[in-house]
Amino acid sequence: MSIVVGTDFSAASAETLRAAAAWAKRTNEKLVVVHATGLEGTGLVQPGSALDQVERALLGRLEGEVSSARGMGAETDGELLHGDSDATLVARAGHCTAALLAVGAVGRRGFANWLLGSTADRVARSSRRPVLVVRAALPLEDWLSGKRTLKVAVAFDRTPTAQAALQWAMGLEKLGRIELSLLHSYSLAEEHRRRKIAGPLPIGQVDPAVTNDLGRELADAARAAGCAQPKLLVEGTLGRASDGVCQMARAQGADLVVVGNHHHQGLLRAWHGSVSQGVIEHCHTNVASISVST
């Protein structure tokens, strides 16, 4: 297996490369550094043409990235591929059955696609491989080198998607010490409907009985997923669940937030909403998106 990392030669990509190189070195896997040109196919690139000169320049910059990763101790190859960044990265990671696909937290394909989300979100939305969205490399580097414990928070609920995310997060113990917490932000309106609680929604406070009951249900689900003694935090919100998770993760000082991705598309995704998209787009720290097909 290998680790695939996307680069657009930006500062964010340099941060991502550091984290991916440290991960590849720790797991003894090859690192594949990929730059997607945005061109569909190679037919337009003729020898001596302006595009040929651009491609040569890109190859030079890519070789610089490869040299940097090798200097960090990772066995590394570089690939200049043609096509849009998200689709190209996902296809490359799928082809080599990558253990991890690492991307920066910023990057968009242009204003026409602004509403479709960032490159990171589009990659996570379509990838069947685990996706690491990097905002800060240093905590991951220090953890992978054994210098510190990594604070890992899992966005958790009772779904198989969240259980898959939890199991992936628990597997990180093989790479280094982790401190694991489970975060659940629930909609007050939804829980009141589910429990058939009459009356207006509380403003500025939550019903402790609802929070405690929900906590017991989630603790049972966590134990069923293999987490014997879950550290579980449950909070109610009138806003979006993803915002609540991000706020809780920041309060916990999380270095990595792990979230399941159910791969709903189009209107179905809009109808259900997406905690994963909100966390990827707005969380203050690194995010791992774990794929579950539905």
Q: Which two tokens stand for residue 213?
A: 């009951």
Q: How does pLDDT run across 266-275, given as a tens digit for each residue? A: 444 443 347 8
The position carrying tokens 């695939």 is 4
Alpha-carbon gap, residue 181 to 184, rounded angstroms: 10
pLDDT at 20 over 60: yes
Q: Which residue has the higher pLDDT, 235 or 269?
A: 235
pTM: 0.87
58: region left, alpha or beta (phi > 0 left; psi from -120 to 50 alpha): alpha
pLDDT at 111 over 60: no
Q: How does pLDDT run across 141-180, given as a tens digit for each residue? A: 999 999 999 999 999 998 899 999 999 999 999 999 999 9
For the chain, helix (H) and strand (E) counts, in that order, are 11, 10
List the single range of 17-21, 125-129, 270-274 with lowest mean pLDDT.
270-274
User: Is the Cβ–Cβ distance between 46 and 52 less than 8 Å?
Assistant: yes
Q: How does pLDDT run across 27-62, given as a tens digit for each residue? A: 999 999 999 987 765 555 555 566 668 888 999 999
Q: What is the pLDDT of residue 109?
A: 42
Q: What is the pLDDT of residue 208?
A: 77
Q: Nearest CA to 101 among 293, 294, 292, 290?
A: 290
What single-letter DSSP state applies at residue 83? S
Q: What is the pLDDT of residue 141?
A: 98
Q: What is the pLDDT of residue 265?
A: 52
Domains, the chain, in order of start with CATH, read: 2-134 (3.40.50.620), 149-291 (3.40.50.620)
List the single range of 106-110, 122-126, 173-177 with lowest mean pLDDT.
106-110
Alpha-carbon gap, residue 271 to 276, rounded angstroms: 14
